[in-house]
Amino acid sequence: MPGLNILQPAPNDSRKERIKNGNSSLWSGSNDLSASVFLEYNEKYFLVKAVVRDDTRGERSGKMQAFSGDGIELFIDTAINSNLANNSYDVLTTQVVLGVPTSDFPEPLCTIKNLRMNTNNPPDLRIVVENTATGYSAFLAIPWNYLGGLPASGQIIGFDLALNDSDSKACEIQMIWSGEKNNWQQRVKFGRLKIK
């Protein structure tokens, strides 16, 4: 898979606002939380592989609260450069929330949420989560039809990725590649990807 991004925000640089609640003292370094992310696609799926370093597996606050535990969130907008005056989610904006397995909830939970669906583990989604010595790896194959359709070659789409870190019973740190903590309801600060 080509396309490598490394998430290692340093809490003392200008990116500290990307750490939820601004409490950067909770982040103790790349072994605490960081990731390498690989992106690919084919005609049917948007493919995401995240190799995440996370030193402590926390719990979710509830079985169906994928956002509250360790995991990743993806933000995808296949028409990011249209209707940008509208900061709220548009018809082609999607939030994907993956909660990795925990002791209490041993199955991965992935929520796909947009104006057309709000569904947990929908049938055509493929999820593989594996524990590693330093955290976990997560592989997602997200059908383009859940995201509003296959983009054209050369098209710019909106994309962002957040790492959620729970070391106890709730998400304590969220680190984000491009945007900010309001990504779950605001689209304009998503990063940009060019479809090859």
* Interacting residue ranges for Ca ion, rule: CB under 5 A: 54, 56, 58, 70, 165, 167
Query: Are 187 and 77 a contacting pair, CB within 8 Å?
Result: yes
Judged by beta carbon, residue 53 or residue 187, the one nearer Ca ion is 53
Q: Which is nearer to Ca ion, 24 or 78 (CB)?
A: 24
**Cross-sheet strand order for the sheet of 33-41:** 4-7, 33-41, 45-54, 135-143, 126-132
Nearer to Ca ion, 26 or 127 (CB): 26
Nearest approach in angstroms of CB 4 to Ca ion is 23
CA angle 142, 75, 141 (to 5 degrees): 15
Nearest distance from residue 26's CB to Ca ion, in Å?
Answer: 11
Which of 52, 42, 38 is CA-nearest to residue 129? Answer: 52
Q: Would you say 113 and 97 are in contact if contact means Cβ atoms under 8 Å apart?
A: yes
- 69 vs 179, beta carbon nearer Ca ion: 69
Helices (H) and strands (E) in the chain, counts: 0, 12
Could you tell me the smallest distance in angstroms from the CB atom of residue 56 to Ca ion?
5
| Cβ at position 172, least distance to Ca ion in Å | 8
**At 128, phi and psi to the nearest 5?**
-130, 125
Shortest CB 179 distance to Ca ion, Å: 21
Q: Which is nearer to Ca ion, 56 or 81 (CB)?
A: 56
